[in-house]
Structure 1
Amino acid sequence: MTLKETLASAYVVGRRDFTATVFSKTFLFFLVGPLIPLLFGFLFGGLGARAERNEAPPTVAVIAAPAEFALLDTARKRFAPLEEGRPMVLLKQVAPAGDTAAQRNRLLAAEEEKVLGVLEGGLKAPHFTGAVNADGRTVKQIALFVDEAQRLERGTPAASSGPPVRISLTDRSGGSLAFARTITARAGQFLVFFLTVFLAGMLLSQLIEEKSNKVIEVLAAAVPVDSIFVGKLFAMLAMSLLGISVWLTAGAIGAAFFLDQGLGSLPPPAVGWPVFLALGFLYYTTNYLLIGAVFLGIGAQASTVREVQTLSMPVTMAQVLLFGFATLGVGDPTSAEAIGAAVFPLSSPYAMIARAAEDGTLWPHLAALAWQLLWVVIIVRFSARLFRRSVLKSGPAFRWPWQKRAAA
């Protein structure tokens, strides 16, 4: 059978599978299922951010005279520009009243006061007591406030010890740009990995129904086994792309409604956003075809749903190992790890999407895409041959190399 006839048969098989899947009742649940946690994530994320903004900062009661408290409060105000969205400890003055220890215990025990700790002893012998971590933010901030207040009391504040620092701002630097692109590279890798793990696993059970009701013999007699594999592989790819488009649309709408500042933006990749997004789509496609072809070949050997469920754990762990191997080269696209991950076909999409974020050269991506598609053809042909000989019993029995040596 010619290549044109093989592709035509694959199109018929793929169209049948795609139509049967998309126009079924279960496909609606498949689309809606991931949207439910996404909806709750946006909802509770927005409520959590609002609650965090409304949450009162921790308060520390300061048992001190007005003059000493004024120095501490001035010191706190000097550090206020460092809050960065997380409010610093508030200081609340409490006038000394006789027994300081009893007053401290009363403040810590009073539920209506809601103080995190008590600072006593003034600036001569400061002593902080509170239910906090010894190395936490509260203790460090109190130590900074006391140290600055002591400088103010001596009349030699740090702010007047020399000329002010001149600051010149730049749009970027080599270090900051490289680090930012590393973040984008890892984000691209994770997105391709997550979508593939979430969607490609269904290919393990694609041939179970046909094998259980003996339809596979009729189908294999009508069209080549290669066409069956190619048709099912591309049908599931089209179904996954349809699902992703629905989820991305719903995610964008949810972000607009529930998040005040949207999803934010990642640092720009080396090839630019339009090319990076196009390469992301292409590498997801080739990654799905590569992993899916392997899964289809493995799942074709299973006879029952139980066997497919048994296979799901090792194949998922194999994907995790491939992803981990590809992450070794992030940050240095010319390293041996990065080149090795790009050459190995099953990790190549992960490595190359990271390279697109860190290196602006385009020709390696053309070579990588051709290399990955070549391996898709090889894996499909091998899986179809294995299925034909081991399941359909058509042609000589398939033997592994060590089985051939044992037979000889």
Structure 2
Amino acid sequence: MIETIRAAFVIARRDFTAIIFSKSFFFFLLGPLFPLGIGVAAGGLGSQVSRDIDNPVIGVAMTTEEADRLLSTRLRLSKSLGSKALPELIVLKDFSGSEADIIAKLNSEKSLAAVLSGTLTAPMLTGSERDVKRWQGKIALLSETALSQPATVDIATTFVRQTSSSSERNQLVTAQVGQAILILLTMILAGMVLSNLVEEKTNKIIEILAAAIPMDAIFLGKLFAMLGMALVGIAVWSTVGFTIALLVGGNWGALPSPAVGWPLFGLLMILYFSMAYLLLGSLFLGIGAMATTVREVQTLSMPVTMGQLLVFFLAYSSITKLGESVEWFAVLFPFSSPFAMIARAAQMDNIWQHGLALAWQGLFTMIIIRFSVMLFRRNVMKSGQSARKKSLFARVTGK
């Protein structure tokens, strides 16, 4: 094991140095300028998820008579204005309506965006500043319409720092952005593992290395060398991005804070990107072991790339379904696990689960590498003229 690790380190240092100090690495750093449009387009996918969670519910803490009048008025107006134009109202029964009880209710009930108390002639709307300002005018309309004698109603407001509902929406935004960054970086960078291996197979360099070093060490070395190169690129892009953001300025305190906090969330972003990269990179190593021509590389890598998009969509659609079966499947399925777990880091403060997820992803990476090594030994190290004439299906199945 120690010899394998030493050999892997030698291969990693060789590949990493060759890539970093090459002229093409500068152009590689310019690569993200082109797919930025993809990131902007992907932001449109967030609208559906936002609609799933941004369905405001306002609790009504009034007398039974006034609450019933308010509910019937909303039902009547929604027929002409549309159900989405007005917030959903629920009556809070056996509720005192005091300011302390209202704040406690908002912090304990995730579905509540605000609480309406007082009377129809002097209503009080309590909630986060964003939600109160958003629905203040609609609540005034409902109160004025519900009164027997129409009159202008002034809505008194009380702002709380953050309700449970607004906190959930903010954490959802962080989860969406984290997943989008991970998938974009993984798809941009992981394919370089495949091109590097196929190039060395064509030049017969890989066969010379395999004669002196265990294949497991070669594959591990190449995989971690490419990961190191990817992290260097990310460090450069992040530095440039933060510099531009600082020069432009902005309200950094308004950024939605993840449940685990920014320092740990940043560390988990690096770790989950590394695991997503290693998982996809090890799969590409297996593809490179089976492919002998550029055409075969394209044939085999395209389904993997499309499958990676499907995996991302699976994790992305499960953001609002924490604890449900589809979300658990996204967490346990190795290729979607990094994306699903970074969403959990944004919305849940349980830290121990990330250690288990990283261990599971690392174990599956090693399994794929072992399988890739087996394919390489079968298709390359024992390849003669007869083996080269075998079909792609025969090389995959070993027949």
The two structures have a TM-score, normalised by structure 2, of 0.65
In our comparison, the structure showing a higher alpha carbon Rg is 1
* Contact 1:204 1:299 survives alignment (8 Å): yes
Structure 1 runs of 4+ with >4 Å offset: 35-38, 262-265, 397-400
Q: How many residues align?
A: 282
Q: CA deviation at 1:399?
A: 10
The two structures have a TM-score, normalised by structure 1, of 0.64
Q: CA deviation at 1:264?
A: 7.8
Q: CA deviation at 1:177?
A: 1.3
Q: Give the share of equivalent positions with the same residue, in percent.
A: 52
Q: CA deviation at 1:392?
A: 1.4
1:148-196 per-residue CA deviation (whole Å, 9 max, x = no partner) reads xxxxxxxxxxxx9245211000111121111211111111111111100
Which residue number corresponds to residue 29 of structure 1? 27
Q: Distance in 1 between matches of 2:246 and 2:35?
A: 17
Amino acid at match of 2:312: F
1:120-144 per-residue CA deviation (whole Å, 9 max, x = no partner) reads xxxxxxxxxxxxxxxxxxxxxxxxx
Q: Distance in 2 between matches of 1:399 and 1:37?
A: 34
Residue among 200, 219, 239 paired with 1:229: 219
1:292-328 per-residue CA deviation (whole Å, 9 max, x = no partner) reads 1001111222222333234443222111001011123
Q: CA deviation at 1:32?
A: 3.2
Amino acid at match of 2:293: T
Q: CA deviation at 1:23?
A: 0.7
* Contact 1:18 1:239 survives alignment (8 Å): yes
SS at match of 1:333: coil
Q: Distance in 2 between matches of 1:166 and 1:265?
A: 25
Residue among 270, 281, 300 paired with 2:259: 270
* Contact 1:290 1:346 survives alignment (8 Å): yes
Q: Distance in 2 between matches of 1:190 and 1:35?
A: 16
Residue among 2, 5, 21 paired with 2:3: 5
* Contact 2:265 2:346 survives alignment (8 Å): yes
1:343-394 per-residue CA deviation (whole Å, 9 max, x = no partner) reads 1111110110000111111111110011111111111111111111122128
1:11-67 per-residue CA deviation (whole Å, 9 max, x = no partner) reads 1111111111111111111113435887xx9xxxxxxxxxxxxxxxxxxxxxxxxxx
Q: Distance in 2 between matches of 1:289 and 1:36?
A: 24
SS at match of 1:168: strand
Relative to structure 1, the CA distance from residue 37 to residue 331 in structure 2 (aligned partners, 3 Å threshold; closer, same or farther) is: closer
Relative to structure 1, the CA distance from residue 196 to residue 265 in structure 2 (aligned partners, 3 Å threshold; closer, same or farther) is: farther
2:203 pairs with 1:213: yes
Q: Distance in 2 between matches of 1:197 and 1:263?
A: 29
Residue among 246, 260, 268 paired with 1:279: 268
Which residue number corresponds to residue 161 of structure 1? 151
Q: Distance in 2 between matches of 1:163 and 1:292?
A: 63
* Contact 1:331 1:358 survives alignment (8 Å): no
Which residue number corresponds to residue 191 of structure 2? 201
* Contact 1:329 1:351 survives alignment (8 Å): yes
Equivalences for residues 7-406 of structure 1 within 5 A:
7-34=5-32, 161-257=151-247, 259-261=248-250, 265-393=254-382
Q: Distance in 2 between matches of 1:36 and 1:381?
A: 35
Which residue number corresponds to residue 75 of structure 2? none
Q: Distance in 1 between matches of 2:264 and 2:281?
A: 25
Which residue number corresponds to residue 154 of structure 1? none
Q: Distance in 2 between matches of 1:265 and 1:318?
A: 36
Q: Distance in 1 between matches of 2:318 and 2:241?
A: 30
Amino acid at match of 1:387: F
Amino acid at match of 2:332: V
Q: Distance in 2 between matches of 1:32 and 1:198?
A: 12
Relative to structure 1, the CA distance from residue 390 to residue 340 in structure 2 (aligned partners, 3 Å threshold; closer, same or farther) is: same
* Contact 1:326 1:347 survives alignment (8 Å): yes
Q: RMSD across aligned C-alpha pairs, in angstroms?
A: 2.9
* Contact 1:270 1:356 survives alignment (8 Å): yes
Q: Distance in 1 between matches of 2:371 and 2:32?
A: 34
Relative to structure 1, the CA distance from residue 36 to residue 188 in structure 2 (aligned partners, 3 Å threshold; closer, same or farther) is: closer
* Contact 1:256 1:262 survives alignment (8 Å): no
Relative to structure 1, the CA distance from residue 263 to residue 33 in structure 2 (aligned partners, 3 Å threshold; closer, same or farther) is: farther
Relative to structure 1, the CA distance from residue 32 to residue 329 in structure 2 (aligned partners, 3 Å threshold; closer, same or farther) is: closer
* Contact 2:330 2:337 survives alignment (8 Å): yes
